[in-house]
Amino acid sequence: MPPALRVDRVAKRFGAVTALAGVDLEVAQGEFFGLLGPNGAGKTTLISALAGLVRTDDGKIEVMGCDVVADYRNARRQLGVVPQELVFDPFFTVRETLKIQSGYFGIRDNDDWIDEILANLDLTAKANANMRTLSGGMKRRVLVAQALVHRPPVIVLDEPTAGVDVELRQTLWQFIRRLNRDGHTIVLTTHYLEEAESLCTRIAMLQAGRVVALDTTANLLQRFSSHTLRLRLAPGASLPPGIKARAALHDGVWSLAFQHFEEVAPILAQLSAAGCCLENLEIGKPDLEEVFIRVMQGERGGMR
């Protein structure tokens, strides 16, 4: 079984800007994969290269084992892309847009599937509305629908939830999760890290056109983030020196990182022994935001 995506030493420059500086990546079939990185990291360029929208300067890309240049017809049939930019054709209605898109892929009678997509994206009521009359969030949904008309096994979403309300986010993720359960491979870019953390099983982080972290979400969290005990002291109280040494102060809150929950009780015991009064106490889970920040600051934390 070929991987859903194989990206091999892919490089792309725009004039003086190096958008991709030799990216290697493999996404297995059925994965829910996250592609993260700051603005300008090269995420959209990589997706454009997968989709054949830009010609790369170097390297090789395969979608489900099909080379995106030599065997572009098959590669493109396997791939559905939701672009980052909110684009639409003002000449057509939603349904016309989807029928035309199906036709481009050689699919003639696609009405049942189109109806199903429309229902799942809560667009049925707008099926015969002209694209121009839709709100931004609805246009975004149509872009998702367009990417799905040919039932591609690999679905790539470039910031699909930018400018989309909470309710649609929920519907959208439910739908995408269902597609993933049905066997579709999902590749997602987003700047909402909680979203990526809860959805993606594996994550690549891109910085200045390079992959700087690539691992399962669980491993990344474990390696770069920890549980933290956050303490706000009562006025006048101070931490005992032994604890203060391993704590960091931020906005009046002391944070202590720990690996195992067994460590918490002794810390609290020490505090009460020292007569240190607390105003508030929280336990924070490891989170992807911390991972992201630390990776972007250059920590490679035993990256394999």
Partner 1 sequence: MSGFRTLFYKEILRFWKVATQTVAAPVVTALLYLMIFSHVLESHVLVYGRVSYTAFLVPGLVMMSVLQNAFANSSSSLIQSKVTGNIIFVLLPPISYREFYAAYVLAAVARGLVVGLGVLLATLAFAPLAFDNVLWVLVFAALGGGIMGSLGVIAGIWADKFDQLAAFQNFLIMPLTFLSGVFYSIHSLPPFWQQVSHFNPIFYMIDGFRRGFFGISDVSPWTSLAIVGTCFALLTALTLAMLKRGYKLRN
Ligand X SMILES: Nc1ncnc2c1ncn2[C@@H]1O[C@H](COP(=O)(O)OP(=O)(O)OP(=O)(O)O)[C@@H](O)[C@H]1O
Binding site for partner 1 (CB under 8 A): 51-55, 72-74, 76-77, 79, 81, 83, 85, 87-92, 96, 100-101, 103-106, 108, 146, 150
Cβ closer to partner 1: 13 or 202? Answer: 13
The verdict on 37 binding ligand X (CB under 6 A) reads yes
42 binds, among partner 1, ligand X, Mg ion, none (CB under 5 to 8 A by kind): ligand X
- Kindly tell me which residue out of 39, 238, 259, 297 binds ligand X, with binding defined by CB under 6 A: 39
Cβ closer to ligand X: 38 or 242? Answer: 38
At residue 48, what are phi and psi to the nearest 5 degrees?
Answer: -60, -35
Q: What minimum distance in Å lies between the beta carbon of 48 and partner 1?
A: 9
**Contact between 263 and 256 (Cβ < 8 Å):** no
88 binds, among partner 1, Mg ion, ligand X, none (CB under 5 to 8 A by kind): partner 1
270 binds, among partner 1, Mg ion, ligand X, none (CB under 5 to 8 A by kind): none
Q: What span, in angstroms and rounded, lies between the C-alpha atoms of 139 and 83?
A: 12
Q: What minimum distance in Å lies between the beta carbon of 28 and partner 1?
A: 23
Eight-state DSSP code of residue 234 = P
The verdict on 43 binding ligand X (CB under 6 A) reads yes
- The encoded tokens of residue 81 equal 């892309």
Listed in sequence order, the residues at least 6 apart from 97 whose beta carbon sits closer than 8 Å to its beta carbon are 88, 89, 131, 142, 146
**SS3 state at 75:** helix
Cβ closer to partner 1: 106 or 236? Answer: 106
The separation between CA 234 and the C-alpha centre of its own chain, rounded to angstroms, equals 40
Ramachandran region of residue 3, left (φ > 0), alpha (ψ -120 to 50) or beta? Answer: beta
Q: What minimum distance in Å lies between the beta carbon of 189 and partner 1?
A: 16
Choices 35-43, 120-128, 178-186, 194-202; region in contact with ligand X by CB under 6 A: 35-43
77 binds, among partner 1, Mg ion, ligand X, none (CB under 5 to 8 A by kind): partner 1
Q: What span, in angstroms and rounded, lies between the C-alpha atoms of 223 and 244?
A: 24
Cβ closer to partner 1: 90 or 241? Answer: 90
Eight-state DSSP code of residue 286 = P
**Contact between 81 and 126 (Cβ < 8 Å):** no
**Contact between 7 and 25 (Cβ < 8 Å):** yes
DSSP string, 8-37: EEEEEEETTEEEEEEEEEEE-TT-EEEEE-
Q: What minimum distance in Å lies between the beta carbon of 162 and Mg ion?
A: 10
Cβ closer to partner 1: 130 or 222? Answer: 130
Cβ closer to Mg ion: 47 or 247? Answer: 47
Q: What minimum distance in Å lies between the beta carbon of 14 and ligand X?
A: 3
Q: What span, in angstroms and rounded, lies between the C-alpha atoms of 103 and 110?
A: 9
- The encoded tokens of residue 193 equal 């890290």
The verdict on 196 binding ligand X (CB under 6 A) reads no
Cβ closer to Mg ion: 2 or 38? Answer: 38
Binding footprint of ligand X on the chain (CB under 6 A): 14, 17, 19, 37, 39-45, 84
